[in-house]
Every structure is written in C-alpha cells, then in structure tokens.
Structure 1
Amino acid sequence: MLLEQERRDVCLTARRLSDTGLPQGEGGTVSVRCGDLVAVTPAGVTLDRVEPADCPVLSVDGRVYEGRREPTAETTLHMAVYRETDATAVVHAHTRNTATVSAVLAELPPIHHYAARLGGAIPVTEYATYGSGDLSDQVVKALQGKRAALLANHGGVGVGHGLAQAFEHARLLEWLCGIYIDARRLGEPRVLSEDELAEVRHRDTYGWAGPDLMYF
C-alpha cells in the first residue's frame, strides 16, 4: 500500500480532530505530503471513521494512484498549498469560531501573543465555493508568510512541517478566534503591533530565562 504510514497518520489526525469536538461530521480534511505524493482524507466518511485504505494517494499535480474512496472535494485546496508553499501537512476544519470570525471580519487581528506563531494577523480570503480553484488560489495567497488562514464563511486551515504542527496551528487558530469573539463582548480588543509581535518571536528563540538572564 502506497504511503502506508502516512495514511495511518492522516487517519490518526482526523480522529484526533474529531475527538476535539470542534468540527461536525465531515467538516474537516487532513493531508500529508511525502515527496511527490500526498495522502488525503476521502469524501463521504466522517473524520472519526476514516481508515487508511480509504485515504486516496495522489501526485501533487492531482493524479490519483490508490485508495478505495474518492478524494475529498477540498483536495484542490490541499494540492495548491503543496505546490505553492513549503508546507508538508494541511489540516482544514469547519470549526465554530473560525466559521464565525470568517463570516464577519476581513482579518483576524493579533490580540494575543500566540498569534505570532501563525504569522501575526490572519487574513480572511474572499468568499469562493468550496472545492473550487478560486478558493485554492485565495488560500495560497492568504498563506503567504502565515501558518494559517481563514476561509470566508467557511472555516480555517492550518499548515506546517508535519501533521502534528499543522494540527496545532489549526487548533490555535480556532482558539485565537474564540479569544477575539470573547474580547469583543467586553469592548474593543487591544491589538498587538508588529514591533510587539517581533519581540515575541525574538523571545521564542530563548529558553526559560530568555534574553534577561543577566538579571538573575
């Protein structure tokens, strides 16, 4: 079986995503790249029931090599990300907070320092029908310099070097959207500046004591 371990990893990540309770039913897709091949979740199967043999294996240009089920309609999005970015894994989900924010804002502002991990402010794509080339183009554009993006009136996507990182980026995006929604109930959120985010990234390169070790 082609990409046997990668297909198992896709299934484990899909089940992990389902276990969070964030997406509903088939409301998410997962893929991982290995060389010029990609394993992706199939169409018509809920995330908690995906099996390795279900997962199609495709070339980066979209040719199907193996898998007992058809690829998800969102496969066009995944392939575009692999062709145009350095990501090796993609996690896309229709989660409550990402869907809510993507229906209202043009951009998720950075109001928590964790936003620096995703690249700062997160763009919201222009609306496009799911599974379309237009949506794929919009997502690739939104991911320039970012590790996540919001899809207008749809949900969110996290990318990374490996499934664990892509999953964490997708989950962090959902959390940041939730923080923004909660903050807006209290008033206008304080937005971190690019300089403040740069300081966070600088701090992240140090250990527990950070750059202020001299003060201990």
Structure 2
Amino acid sequence: MLLERERAALCETGRKMVASGLVMGSSGNISVRAGELVAVSPGGMMLDRMAPEDCPVLDKHGRVVDGARAPSSETPMHLAVYEVSDATAIVHTHSTYGAVVATTMTELPPVHYNTLALGGVVKVAAYATYGTPELAANVRAALQGGKWGDMYAALMANHGGVTLGHDLEHAYENARLLEWLCSVYVQARAIGEPRVLTEEELQRVVERGLTPPGYRA
C-alpha cells in the first residue's frame, strides 16, 4: 500500500479533529504530501471512522494512483495550495468560531500576538462553491502575500478554515490555534470593541523573538 504511514497519520489526525470539535459529521478534510504524491481523506466519510486503506493516494495532477475510494471534494483546493507552498500537510475545518468569523469579516483582526504564529493577519478567501476551481484559486490567493512571510492559515467565506503545516501535527495545531484566535475575537465582541494590535506592535513581537513561519527579514 502506497504511503501507508502517511495514510495512518491522516486517520489519527481525523480522530483528533473530531474529538476537538474542529469538524462534525463528514465535514472537513485532510491531506499530506510525500514527494510527488498526496494522500487525502476520502469524500463523504466521517474523519474519525477512516482506516488507512480508505484514504486515496493521488499524483500531483489529481489522478488516483492507489485506493478504491474517491478523494475529498476539496482535493482541488489542496492540490492548488501545494503548487505554491512548501507545506507538506493541509487541514480544512468547519469549526464554530472560524465559521462565524468567516461569515462576517474579510480578515481576522489581530487581537493577540499569536496570530504571528500563523504568518500574520489571517485573510478570508472570497466565497465560492465548495470543491470548485474558483474556491481553490480564492484560498490560494488568501494565503499569499503575508506581511511577515509565508501564511499558514486562511478562512473561507461562509465556510470554514484551512491551515498548512510542515507535517500533519503542525497543520492540526495551526487549526487549533486559528479556532482559538477566532473564539477570542468573537467572545471579545460580546463585551465591547476588541483592541486590535497595530503593525508596529506586531513587529515588536517579531523583534523579541516570535518569528512567524517563513519570516523574511
């Protein structure tokens, strides 16, 4: 079986995503890249019920090279992001607070300096129907051009979130961080208008040692 270890890791990550509330039902999807191949969660299957053999392996053009199940409908988005990123794993969630922000905002205001751990201010990709080339292009655009280097997260308008990582654990932890940042912002709005950190304040955090992924001095 091709990419047996990577497919097992997808299953473990899927169980964690369900347990932590980042997805529900068969929503959300995950992928991991190994060389020219990508293992991805299957379409229409709950992420905590996958077995390694359920996860198809694709080439960079999206052709299935191993596995009997159809890949996730969001596979075009995963492949489009890999084309322009050094990341080796992608996690797509339908978390509650992420969906709230993605439904109401054009970006996630930086109310906490840990936004830098995701590369900077997280943008909301323009809405497009799920699984379409348009959505893939919109997500890829939202991940480009971070002020402090490479972006590792984006939100998808009226949809959810997507995070990248150097491996599946990194991408999963980025998804948890994105949801936490969204929850802080939404709950702060219930009390009053949140104070947003300025670019100068964020830059001083970078200078003190919190270096965003892909930071370019």
Give the TM-score category using the shorter length. over 0.9
Distance 1:93 1:148 in 2: 11
- Residues 1:62 and 2:67 aligned together: no
Distance 1:90 1:22 in 2: 14
Identical amino acids, percent of aligned pairs: 52
Distance 1:33 1:170 in 2: 18
Instruction: Map residues 67-86 of structure 1 onto 2, 5 A cutoff.
Output: 67-86=67-86
The SS at the match of 2:104 is coil
Distance 2:208 2:170 in 1: 20
Contact 1:109 1:120 in 2 (8 A): no
**Deviation string for 1:18-45 (max 9, x for gaps)?**
1112311111101100000000000121
Contact 2:117 2:210 in 1 (8 A): no
Cross-structure match for 1:88? 88
Aligned length: 206
State the Cα distance separating 1:87 from its structure 2 match: 1.0
State the Cα distance separating 1:104 from its structure 2 match: 0.4
Root-mean-square deviation (CA), in Å?
Answer: 1.2
Match of 2:203 among 183, 186, 198: 198
- Residues 1:18 and 2:18 aligned together: yes
Task: State the one-letter code of the partner of 1:97.
Answer: Y
Task: State the one-letter code of the partner of 1:64.
Answer: V
Q: Which moved more, 1:185-194 or 1:47-56?
A: 185-194
**Deviation string for 1:61-81 (max 9, x for gaps)?**
111101121001011111111
Cα 1:104/1:30, change in 2 over 3 Å: same
The SS at the match of 1:124 is strand
Contact 2:59 2:65 in 1 (8 A): yes
Q: In structure 1, list runs of 5 or more residues that go unmatched.
A: 207-216
The SS at the match of 1:156 is strand
State the Cα distance separating 1:194 from its structure 2 match: 1.6
Task: State the one-letter code of the partner of 1:10.
Answer: L
TM-score using structure 2 length:
0.92
Task: State the one-letter code of the partner of 1:159.
Answer: L
Instruction: Map residues 111-122 of structure 1 onto 2, 5 A cutoff.
Output: 111-122=111-122
Which structure has the larger Rg?
1
Contact 1:32 1:88 in 2 (8 A): yes
**Deviation string for 1:1-58 (max 9, x for gaps)?**
0001000011111111111123111111011000000000001210110110000000
State the Cα distance separating 1:150 from its structure 2 match: 0.3
The SS at the match of 2:125 is coil
The SS at the match of 1:18 is helix
Flag as ranges the 4+ runs of structure 1 deviating above 4 A.
none
Instruction: Map residues 7-156 of structure 1 onto 2, 5 A cutoff.
Output: 7-144=7-144, 145-156=150-161
State the Cα distance separating 1:119 from its structure 2 match: 1.9
